[in-house]
Amino acid sequence: MGKWDTVGQCLVNHSANDILVIGAAPFYFLDYVACEKLNPEIVEQIVKGMTIACKELDMPLIKGETAEMPGVYAKGEYDLAGTITGIVDREKFIDGKGIAKDDVLIGLESNGLHTNGYSLARKVLFDIAGYSVSDYLEELKMTIGEELLRVHKCYSKPVLDLYHSHKIKGIAHITGGGLLENIPRVMPQGYGVIIEKSKIDIQPIFHLIQEKGSVPEEDMFRTFNMGVGLVLIVAPDHVEEMINKLKEKYNQNASVIGKVVHGEGVELV
């Protein structure tokens, strides 16, 4: 696509979501860019994206490093990495230990693929279906390239706002491994979850990939977020209030997608 100013945003936002699962607020970010030969204009765009995301999180990009490594990287290839540091009060650390039977799973809407499942998406959309990045699809309301470059949504500000006024027992960032592998990571021993697929607003891009690639449903839920970028585990008491606050104050769509049960793992029904 020749578009370099969004990948840095994805990296920062993904990192902020990763530390959010323990209730941590972002404090500062460091970046690292490596390539075969530096192109100043491209690096400027990459760093610009990171600064946009950092500014939105009121977090400084305090330092970075660039490295030219011919013979290690192919021509035109860039390797982008980042480190985030966050702060959480020890007393408010979210460790999942308080999760109990019949607690509710609130799924926060994603913004497409976020940063996971691209190997399968490229294989299906470009190799199997034969699309190009410039192909406009009515069901997506945009081109394939625009859909795949949508910025990984950051949930830090709205969820930290909820966290200060409501009890959140567990948080799962739905990245590699999808809903099936990320939720169990935050569950205490002896507890699993039931997820109702009908409660998830599965976005058109996921239907497209599944249809064009004949991908089994379980593989879809294990590879992609399927429209749910973050899951909150909370007691049933204030669920409606929390969902309404996310929508009204932050324009963040969210819905109840399941509940906690005795057992282990994730059951899709």
β-pairing, 191-195 vs 266-268, is: parallel
Question: From first to last of its 269 residues, what are the pLDDT tens digits of the chain?
Answer: 999 999 999 999 999 999 999 999 999 999 999 999 999 999 999 999 999 999 999 999 998 899 999 999 999 999 999 999 999 999 999 999 999 999 999 999 999 999 999 999 999 999 999 999 999 999 999 999 999 999 999 999 999 999 988 899 999 999 999 999 999 999 999 999 999 999 999 999 999 999 999 999 999 999 999 999 999 999 999 899 999 999 999 999 999 999 999 999 999 99
Same domain, residue pair 81 and 160: no
Please tell me the distance from the alpha carbon of residue 104 to that of residue 170, in angstroms, as a whole number: 10
Give the rounded distance of the alpha carbon of 199 from its chain centre: 19
Confidence (pTM): 0.95
Crossing angle for the helix pair 40-56 and 7-20, to the nearest 10 degrees: 40
Q: Within a domain: residue 80?
A: yes
Q: Within a domain: residue 1?
A: no
- DSSP 8-state class, residue 151: P
Same domain, residue pair 202 and 180: yes
221 membership: H or E segment, kind and range? helix 217-223
Task: Give the domain extent around 43.
Answer: 7-90
Same domain, residue pair 54 and 110: no
Q: Within a domain: residue 232?
A: yes
For residue 150, give Cα distances in angstroms to 10, 70, 90, 153: 9, 30, 35, 9
